[in-house]
Each structure stands twice: as C-alpha cells, then as structure tokens.
Structure 1
Amino acid sequence: MTAGSPRTWALAAASGFSGVALFQVALALGAPLGAAAWGGAERVLSPEHRVGSGVAALILCLSALIVCGRAGLLKRTPGWMRLFRAGTWVLAAQMALNTLANLASASPWERYLMSVLTLTLCVLCLGVTRSPVPPTGGGGR
C-alpha cells in the first residue's frame, strides 16, 4: 500500500463513499434501482427500505468525512484525530463485512458490482489507516 499518498487514498475512498451515498439517496427517493440493493428483492424499495437508504446515505457522507479527516484534509484537533483514526479502522472492517454480505446476496448486482466496490473501499480505508498520522492543528494542504 505504498503507491500514492494518504490524501490520494482518502480522496478515492471519499469519492466512493459519496457515489454510494448518491445511489442510496436515489433509492430513498424511489428510483427503480432496488435490484442492486437490499438483497435485490424489490425494484422500487418499500417505505422501510427507503428510510434505511436515507440513513445509509447520511452514514456514507460521514464516512467520506472520516477518511478525509484521517488523511489530514480537514482541520482537526487531537480529539478529532483519535475519532478519525478509530473511525477509519471501523470503516475498513465494515467494508470487509459488507463485501462478504454482498458476495452472499441473491442479487447479481450486489455479488458482482457492490462486492467489488466495497472491497475496493475496504482496501482504500486500510491504505489510509496505515499511513503516517498528519500533524494536528492544521488543515487543507
């Protein structure tokens, strides 16, 4: 995991999380993309799954912020840095579990597309977690 800088890994992960968040927003708004989510059983999600997709979109946006914070792209204090460091490890583990769940799904979209996406996000998060911790107090470049 030495290729690229932690910021590059974080920006790639944040882009992935943001893209999936947009997909979840589309599902929450009733887009007929349900074959690629929630097991693929519904073309248009039920009201309960639509709420779940809305919540997932919020969590995915927070995930993008966490990896950016861990890579030093956001202004932070030592307390925030601890949160960003732990959060990125949690995200890597969650993406690994999501990959397994997607591989076990009945939906071909989840098995062949979402599993690759979540595995990629897992590797990107691991790349960010394994990078040196940037100094606190600064932000941006």
Structure 2
Amino acid sequence: MTSAALAVALAVLCALAVLQVLVIFGLPFGAVVWGGQHRVLPGRLRLGSTVAVILYAGFAALLLSRSGVLPGSVNAAVIVLTWVLFAFFAVSVVGNVATRSSAERWTMTPASVVLAVATFVIAVE
C-alpha cells in the first residue's frame, strides 16, 4: 500500500512541479495557480512558483525517506514532518475549495486531496 501511495504522491508532485515550471517560463496557465488572478504570472508570483518547485522536491524527498526508499524512515524528525506535511495538504484542500478561481478549484482541489490521502497512508505505515 505504501509503495502505491508513494508512486501516486510522487506523480502528483511531479505534475505540479511541471505546471509551476511552465508558469515560471511565462506560459498562460496562471488561472490554475496562486488564486487564478493572472493568466501569465507577474515576477513575484514566478518567484513563488520557483519556491514551490523547490518545496515539492523537499516533499518528495521526505516521502521517499518515510517510505524507506531513502534513509531515515524511523527518524523522529522524518515521522513528525510527514504528519506536518499531511496536515499541510489537508488544509490546502480547504483553501483550494474556497478559491474564487474555478480553474484552480477543479485542478488543485483533487491534487490536494490525493496528496493528503497518499501522505496519510505513508505516515501511518
């Protein structure tokens, strides 16, 4: 179960990273990120997208560690951070449901739900 949850979480994180890279380079997918206010993101939001890509890589490393693919699966910090990550994804579901952007709501809400569930499965195992 953990390996399936890990695969799903990594696939979603990769897809989100690709989306963020596309908006960093000025492609008009801004309607599905950062509140959906801009088709093409302004500089400050492109910087935010850059930070998001780095965070996604960190999230992936954490999940890989907790799953035993990378070292540290039983490390207390890894266990606690995995639960914190689960809480972050669970809260992001609420934020994505509440967004004014229907494109963001229909794209990011399912991604947040999938990430929350997958992270929960990984955290519990």
Short-chain TM bin: over 0.9
Q: Which amino acid aligns with 2:119?
A: C
Seen in structure 2, the aligned counterparts of structure 1 residues 67 and 113 have a Cα distance that, compared at 3 Å, is same
Partners of 1:31 and 1:62 lie apart in 2 by 24
Identical aligned residues as a percent: 30
Stretches of structure 2 lacking an aligned partner (at least 5 in a row): none
1:77-88 aligned within 5 A = 81-88=75-82
Q: CA contact under 8 A between 1:99 and 1:115: conserved in structure 2?
A: yes
Partners of 1:104 and 1:39 lie apart in 2 by 10
**What's the TM-score, normalizing by structure 1?**
0.83
CA RMSD of superposed structures (Å) = 1.4
Aligned residues: 125
- Of the three residues 4, 7, 12, the one matched with 2:3 is 7
Stretches of structure 1 lacking an aligned partner (at least 5 in a row): 132-141
Q: Which has the higher helix share?
A: 2
Give 3-state SS (helix, strand or coil) of 1:91's partner: helix
Q: Which amino acid aligns with 1:29?
A: F
Residue 65 of structure 1 and its aligned partner are, at CA, apart by: 1.0
Higher mean Cα deviation, 42-51 or 104-113? 104-113
- Of the three residues 74, 89, 96, the one matched with 1:95 is 89
- Of the three residues 8, 14, 22, the one matched with 2:18 is 22
